[in-house]
């Protein structure tokens, strides 16, 4: 096996898991944090920032893009990347929701 049984879960569960998973790698966390740090879009500078080969970085960028976490606009020779706020908001509100539900729990054990 090895293939996730997505058909056994709800669409929402699969969607949030896919979004979360896209950030479940230090290189992709580093990419997001770098985009955040420079405080603007970045056109052609990400590869030099990461300790990985260019095809590997390109692959990670593709995954973040597919998941909707970043947007990429072609800017002449380079590609201009930035974070997609909507995806971050989704993640934030998802965990905020869990957190607030947890706060209301009775905590009978544990």
Q: What does the binding site for a copy of itself look like in residue numbers (CB under 8 A)?
A: 4-6, 8-10, 13-14, 16-18, 20-30, 32-33, 36, 39-41, 43, 51-52, 71, 73, 75, 80-83, 85, 88-89, 91-92, 95-96, 98-99, 101-102, 104-110
Please say whether the beta carbons of 31 and 71 come within 8 A: no
- CB-neighbour burial class of residue 61 (10 A; exposed 0-12, middle 13-18, buried 19+): buried
Give helix 26-37 / helix 54-67 axis angle, nearest 10°.
80
* CA–CA gap between residue 15 and residue 11 (Å, rounded): 6
**Which is nearest to 83 in space by CA: 95, 67, 104, 99?**
67
Q: Which does 20 bind (CB under 5 to 8 A by kind): a copy of itself, DNA, none?
A: a copy of itself
Least spacing, CB of residue 45 vs a copy of itself, in Å = 13
Q: Scanning residues 19 to 78, which ones bind DNA (CB under 7 A)?
A: 21, 24-25, 27, 43-47, 52-56, 58-63, 72, 74, 76-78
**Interface with DNA (CB under 7 A):** 1-5, 21, 24-25, 27, 43-47, 52-56, 58-63, 72, 74, 76-79
């Amino acid at each position: 096996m090895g293939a996730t049984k997505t058909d056994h879960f709800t669409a929402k569960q699969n969607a949030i898991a896919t979004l979360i998973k896209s950030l479940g790698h230090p290189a992709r966390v580093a990419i997001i944090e770098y985009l955040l740090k420079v405080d603007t879009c970045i056109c052609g500078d990400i590869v030099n920032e990461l300790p990985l080969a260019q095809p590997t970085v390109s692959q990670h960028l593709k995954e973040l893009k597919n998941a909707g976490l970043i947007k990429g606009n072609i800017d002449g020779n380079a590609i201009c990347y930035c974070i997609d706020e909507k995806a971050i908001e989704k993640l934030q509100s998802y965990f905020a929701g869990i957190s607030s539900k947890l706060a209301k729990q009775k905590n009978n054990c544990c």
